[in-house]
């Protein structure tokens, strides 16, 4: 207390003396300083601003509750984060080549990007797929494609992340079938499914069914994995897309954790024991330009989640309390103008993710505002991580910014503001009800619009866009997806359909429909169907009449 | 606020998300900015086929269509919209667009009849200026 008093006196003396004189001579650059999310930033944070916090209670030690300083006791001294570049384009064979290249370059995990028809549960020969096949990710129709995708890649030795949501259980069943063919026992498989349908309604907008049946698919998968694929991360609860859709950092944090709460509730309601499935939930956050805000967000996320899962859901296993996360740098922060500047943005964002204590990281490539990245651009992005990991020294001490007055105060602030959102969502009846009411969607649209106005007016700077603009265009190489990909993929699908046992497929699809109606776990049914080479579109289509289709009320 | 110069004409505009792409941040910002600038704006919502977009444009009798896609399918999808507009004798509706579009495709899109392409970093003011300068109401000034 005495020290606080002395601090307060010291601060008053500084404010009234040194600071006042300096401000009289020359004002500050701006009337008010704020983060990229418009959170006000104070001039100076000192020890007495931290008076109410208790380091033992609020920070703890690495690997201990509430994990503010990190989920692992040794963090990057023990093992560096996983460098995992998201990749997928063209046919399965094209993407398989890119995976082999990335593994050869020292990447330590795989991350599959599927094309839009696959994400929407539609086959490559669906009329709605026209023009989209293999463009934004790899086209997967049947098990034959999944076999080609992982050809020569031993699934027992890599960890694989799959960005797939509404049709996630179907694609996961294909992955399991490939593992089985490779002779890898399911309990040795390591990886993550995104499988986060709630953020689809909020932000990414690739859905098939309405929220409630979609949640049932998720609890089926969680139940199946708890028994048979225990090392698999069943949901990657994603703030990434929420941020990309234009949210603030606090909204990203709050809506993501609110989604997490909804999954915990759904699991418990489906009869699962919290400690049987909560340890397999992982997270996925964005890392935007505002360096300290991002670090504070990740630290606050861990503390909030730990307290929620332990205190509200009564989890006893400490693995349930740990928020393990993947981070991707912010695609929406990159510019088409002066694209080489993007390398610098990505470096700053990646550094924030590392100082925030991420478990794995994707760094965006400089050309992603123009097209999917070229191999050369991806290599620079991967090297950025390697330089941070092995040259910069930032991985050598755990949570090196812990105890910084500013970072701790900002962490507290993020936690407080996110909690206020969580309370509002709770009062609405939880996240599913809030989504059905359009609440997070509207909040994000507001924030996105505000930010665009700030850029248009010059209130927020984007280098090369609204300041330091250059007339000449910088030409960069880009990756082209040949229209031939779509024709080849359709032909391949037709061949698979012709060669398979049609009766087995029909029986499997009928089995899916009856199990869906009866409320049985659908995972074994999906496995049976994919092994018979039923397609993603056929399986998802079989469930449409049972589950219905989601329709968004579009507001702007 | 603004006096003198060309007076802003009020246009009927359709903002369309075409294809399976769900990235609607840009489309919604543009729709709102155009509305705030005094235009009448209709937004199609997500996952529209080219046929649906053209149908809405004709039904709503719009002066211009702003198409957005970030999935890389712009050549195919924008091309289809223009083809359908011409087939339905509505080729005088101006089509502009935006998204993740590489340099090499700009010329092809112009060739297809896309009046202007706005890419990441374009300001809402640029789009408004384009509409003021290059789009006239199809049925004369109201």
The domain in which residue A101 lies consists of 55-457
**B75/A contact by beta carbon, under 8 A:** yes
Residues A221-243, mean pLDDT to the nearest whole number: 97
Is the distance from CB of B48 to CB of B16 less than 8 angstroms?
Answer: yes
Nearest alpha-carbon partner for A117 in A98, A82, A142, A80:
A142
Cβ-based neighbour number of residue B76 at 10 Å: 18
Q: Let me know the angle formed at the C-alpha of A85 by A84 and A90, rounded to the nearest 5 degrees.
A: 135
Say yes or no for a CB contact (<8 Å) between A130 and B76.
Answer: yes
C-alpha atoms less than 13 angstroms from C-alpha of A62 in its C-beta half-sphere: 17
- The owner of tokens 């593994």 is A103
Q: Is residue A8 part of a domain?
A: no
Say yes or no for a CB contact (<8 Å) between B75 and A136.
Answer: no
Q: What's the DSSP call for residue B18?
A: B
pLDDT on residue B4: 37
Going by C-beta distance under 8 Å and a sequence separation of 6 or more, which residues neighbour residue A325?
A: A282, A283, A284, A285, A298, A301, A358, A359, A360
Task: Measure the CA–CA gap between A471 and B129, rounded to whole angstroms.
Answer: 19
pLDDT on residue B141: 52
Residues A310-328, mean pLDDT to the nearest whole number: 98
Is the distance from CB of A521 to CB of A224 less than 8 angstroms?
Answer: yes
Say yes or no for a CB contact (<8 Å) between A455 and B76.
Answer: no
pLDDT on residue A555: 77
**B51/A contact by beta carbon, under 8 A:** no
pLDDT on residue A550: 95
Tell me the two tokens of residue A487.
Answer: 């024709």
Cβ-based neighbour number of residue A516 at 10 Å: 20
Residues β-bridged to residue A280: none
Write the DSSP string, A458-524. TSS--BTTTBS--SSPPP-------THHHHHHHHHHHHHHHHS-HHHHHHHHHHHHHHHHHT--SHH
pLDDT tens profile B35-76: 999 999 999 999 999 999 999 999 999 999 999 999 889 999
Say yes or no for a CB contact (<8 Å) between A120 and B75.
Answer: no
Which of A88, A138, A201, A205 to mutate: most B Cβ within 10 Å? A205
Residue of A nearest to B52 (CA): A128
Sign of CA dihedral A326, A327, A332, A337: negative
Tell me the two tokens of residue B17.
Answer: 């998300």
Task: Measure the CA–CA gap between A473 and A168, rounded to whole angstroms.
Answer: 41
Sign of CA dihedral A16, A18, A20, A24: positive
C-alpha atoms less than 13 angstroms from C-alpha of A52 in its C-beta half-sphere: 4
Chain B positions touching A136 (Cβ under 8 A) are 21, 71-72
Task: Measure the CA–CA gap between A375 and A85, rounded to whole angstroms.
Answer: 11
Q: Is residue A543 part of a domain?
A: no
Which of A132, A464, A479, A485 to mutate: most B Cβ within 10 Å? A132
Chain B positions touching A445 (Cβ under 8 A) are 28, 32
Smallest Cβ distance to A336: which of B28, B72, B120?
A: B120
Task: Measure the CA–CA gap between B130 and A46, rounded to whole angstroms.
Answer: 50
Nearest alpha-carbon partner for A516 in A528, A525, A507:
A525
Say yes or no for a CB contact (<8 Å) between A456 and B28.
Answer: no
Task: Measure the CA–CA gap between A438 and A411, rounded to whole angstroms.
Answer: 28
Backbone φ, ψ for residue A107 (5° rounding): -65, 150
pLDDT tens profile A501-542: 999 999 999 999 999 999 999 999 999 999 999 999 999 999
- pTM here is 0.93
Say yes or no for a CB contact (<8 Å) between B20 and A370.
Answer: no
Chain A positions touching B77 (Cβ under 8 A) are 131
pLDDT on residue A88: 85
Task: Measure the CA–CA gap between A399 and B82, rounded to whole angstroms.
Answer: 55
Q: Is residue A381 part of a domain?
A: yes
- The owner of tokens 């490779």 is A182
pLDDT on residue B7: 45
Task: Measure the CA–CA gap between A400 and A357, rounded to whole angstroms.
Answer: 10
pLDDT over 60 at B128, yes or no: yes
Q: Contacts from B81-89 at CB under 8 Å and sequence distance 24+?
A: B81/B16, B81/B18, B81/B50, B81/B53, B81/B54, B82/B112, B82/B113, B82/B114, B83/B50, B84/B50, B84/B51, B84/B54, B85/B54, B85/B57, B88/B54, B88/B58
C-alpha atoms less than 13 angstroms from C-alpha of A152 in its C-beta half-sphere: 11
Say yes or no for a CB contact (<8 Å) between A478 and B102.
Answer: yes
Q: What's the DSSP call for residue A373?
A: P
Q: Which of A50-59, B13-22, B88-97, B121-130 has the lowest mean pLDDT?
A: A50-59
Helix, coil or strand: residue B55: helix
Task: Measure the CA–CA gap between A89 and A355, rounded to whole angstroms.
Answer: 31
- The owner of tokens 């090392």 is A231
Q: Which of A30-39, A101-110, A263-272, A520-529 has the lowest mean pLDDT?
A: A101-110
What ipTM was predicted for this assembly?
Answer: 0.87
Q: Is residue A145 part of a domain?
A: yes
pLDDT on residue B5: 41
The total number of structural domains in chain A stands at: 1
pLDDT tens profile A398-416: 999 999 999 999 999 999 9
Tell me the two tokens of residue A242.
Answer: 């929420």
Distance to chain A for B17, nearest Cα, Å: 11
Q: Is residue A500 part of a domain?
A: no
Say yes or no for a CB contact (<8 Å) between A452 and B45.
Answer: no
Question: SS3 string of A54-114?
Answer: CHHHHHCCCCCCCCCCCCCCCHHHHCCCEECCEECCCCHHHHHHHHHHHHHCCCCCEEEEE
Q: Is the domain B12-133 a CATH 3.40.50.280 member? A: yes
Q: Let me know the angle formed at the C-alpha of B49 by A123 and A143, rounded to the nearest 5 degrees.
A: 10
Task: Measure the CA–CA gap between A344 and A171, rounded to whole angstroms.
Answer: 36
Chain B positions touching A341 (Cβ under 8 A) are none
What radius of gyration, in Å, describes the C-alpha atoms of chain A?
A: 24
Say yes or no for a CB contact (<8 Å) between B124 and A445.
Answer: no
Q: Is residue A278 part of a domain?
A: yes
Domain containing residue A181: CATH number: 3.20.20.240
Say yes or no for a CB contact (<8 Å) between A116 and B71.
Answer: yes
Distance to chain A for B23, nearest Cα, Å: 6
Which of B73, B108, B122, B125 to mutate: most A Cβ within 10 Å? B73
Residues A423-446, mean pLDDT to the nearest whole number: 97
Which of B50, B102, B126 to mutate: most A Cβ within 10 Å? B102
Cβ-based neighbour number of residue A433 at 10 Å: 15
Nearest alpha-carbon partner for A285 in A320, A318, A319, A259:
A259
pLDDT over 80 at B2, yes or no: no
Pairing of strands B64-69, B94-99: parallel
Going by C-beta distance under 8 Å and a sequence separation of 6 or more, which residues neighbour residue A271?
A: none
- The owner of tokens 């074994």 is A524
Tell me the two tokens of residue A174.
Answer: 């294909």
Task: Measure the CA–CA gap between A309 and A264, rounded to whole angstroms.
Answer: 9
pLDDT on residue A89: 87
Cβ-based neighbour number of residue A451 at 10 Å: 21
Chain A positions touching B48 (Cβ under 8 A) are none
Say yes or no for a CB contact (<8 Å) between B46 and A552.
Answer: yes
Smallest Cβ distance to B123: which of A116, A456, A556?
A: A456
Distance to chain A for B101, nearest Cα, Å: 5
Sign of CA dihedral A429, A430, A433, A438: positive
Say yes or no for a CB contact (<8 Å) between B120 and A452.
Answer: no
Mean of the per-residue pLDDT values of chain A: 95
**Higher pLDDT among residues A476 and B60, named by residue:** B60
Task: Measure the CA–CA gap between A494 and A490, rounded to whole angstroms.
Answer: 6
Say yes or no for a CB contact (<8 Å) between A246 and B25.
Answer: yes
Is the distance from CB of B124 to CB of A452 less than 8 angstroms?
Answer: yes
Q: Is residue A483 part of a domain?
A: no
Say yes or no for a CB contact (<8 Å) between A131 and B77.
Answer: yes
């Amino acid at each position: 207390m005495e020290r606080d008093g002395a601090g307060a006196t010291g601060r008053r003396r500084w404010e009234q003396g040194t600071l006042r004189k300096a401000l009289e001579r020359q004002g500050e650059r701006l009337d008010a300083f704020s983060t990229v999310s418009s959170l006000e930033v104070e001039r100076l944070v000192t020890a007495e601003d931290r008076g109410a916090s208790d380091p033992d209670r609020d920070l703890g030690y690495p690997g201990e509750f509430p994990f503010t300083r990190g989920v692992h006791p040794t963090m990057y001294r023990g093992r560096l984060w996983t460098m995992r570049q998201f990749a997928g384009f063209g046919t399965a064979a094209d993407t398989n080549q890119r995976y082999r290249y990335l593994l050869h370059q020292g990447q330590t995990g795989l991350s599959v990007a599927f094309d839009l028809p696959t994400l929407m549960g539609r086959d490559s020969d669906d009329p709605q797929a026209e023009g989209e096949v293999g463009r934004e990710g790899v086209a997967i129709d049947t098990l034959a494609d999944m076999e080609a995708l992982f050809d020569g890649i031993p699934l027992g030795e890599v960890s694989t992340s799959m960005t797939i949501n509404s049709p996630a259980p179907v694609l996961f069943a294909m992955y399991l079938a490939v593992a089985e063919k490779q002779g890898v026992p399911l309990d040795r498989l390591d990886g993550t499914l995104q499988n986060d349908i709630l953020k689809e309604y909020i932000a990414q907008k690739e859905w098939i069914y309405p929220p409630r049946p979609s949640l049932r698919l998720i609890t089926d998968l969680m139940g199946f994995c708890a028994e048979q694929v225990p090392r698999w991360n069943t949901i990657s609860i994603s703030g990434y897309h929420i941020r990309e859709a234009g949210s603030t950092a606090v909204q990203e944090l709050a809506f993501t954790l609110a989604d997490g709460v909804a999954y915990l509730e759904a699991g418990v309601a489906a009869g699962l024991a919290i400690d049987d499935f909560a340890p397999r939930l992982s997270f996925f956050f964005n890392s935007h330009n505002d360096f300290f805000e991002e670090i504070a967000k990740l630290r606050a996320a861990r503390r909030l989640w730990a307290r929620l899962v332990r205190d509200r859901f009564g989890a006893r296993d400490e693995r349930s309390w740990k928020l393990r996360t993947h981070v991707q740098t912010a695609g929406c922060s990159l510019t088409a103008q002066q694209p080489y500047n993007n390398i610098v943005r990505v470096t700053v964002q990646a550094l924030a993710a590392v100082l925030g204590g991420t478990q794995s990281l994707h760094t965006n490539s400089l050309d992603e505002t123009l097209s999917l990245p070229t191999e050369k651009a991806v290599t620079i992005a991967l090297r950025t991580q390697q330089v941070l990991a092995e040259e910069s020294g930032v991985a050598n001490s755990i949570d090196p910014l812990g105890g910084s007055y500013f970072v701790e105060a900002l962490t507290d602030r993020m936690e407080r503001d996110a909690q206020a959102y969580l309370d509002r969502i709770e009062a609405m009846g939880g996240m599913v009800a809030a989504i059905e009411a359009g609440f997070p969607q509207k909040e994000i649209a507001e924030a996105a619009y505000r930010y665009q106005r700030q850029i248009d007016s010059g209130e927020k700077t984007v280098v090369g866009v609204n300041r330091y603009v250059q007339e000449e265009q910088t030409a960069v190489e880009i990756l082209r997806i040949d229209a031939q990909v779509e024709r080849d993929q359709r032909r391949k699908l037709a061949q698979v359909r012709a060669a398979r046992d049609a009766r087995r497929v029909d029986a499997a699809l009928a089995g899916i429909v009856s199990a869906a109606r009866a409320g049985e776990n659908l995972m074994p049914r999906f496995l049976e169907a994919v092994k018979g080479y039923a397609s993603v579109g056929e399986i998802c289509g079989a469930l449409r009449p049972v589950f219905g289709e989601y329709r968004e009320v579009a507001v702007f | 606020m603004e006096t003198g110069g060309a007076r802003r004409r009020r246009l009927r505009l359709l903002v369309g998300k075409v294809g399976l792409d769900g990235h609607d941040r840009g489309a919604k910002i543009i729709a709102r900015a155009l509305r705030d600038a005094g235009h009448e704006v209709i937004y199609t919502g997500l996952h529209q086929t080219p046929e649906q977009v053209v149908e809405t444009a004709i039904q709503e009798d719009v002066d211009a269509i702003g198409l957005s896609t970030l999935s890389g399918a712009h050549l195919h999808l924008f091309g289809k919209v223009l083809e359908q507009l011409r087939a339905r004798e509505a080729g005088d509706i101006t089509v502009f667009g935006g998204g993740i579009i590489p340099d090499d495709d700009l010329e092809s899109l112009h060739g297809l009849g896309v009046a202007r392409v706005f890419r990441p970093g374009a300001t809402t003011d640029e789009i408004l200026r384009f509409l003021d300068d290059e789009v006239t109401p199809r049925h004369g000034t109201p």
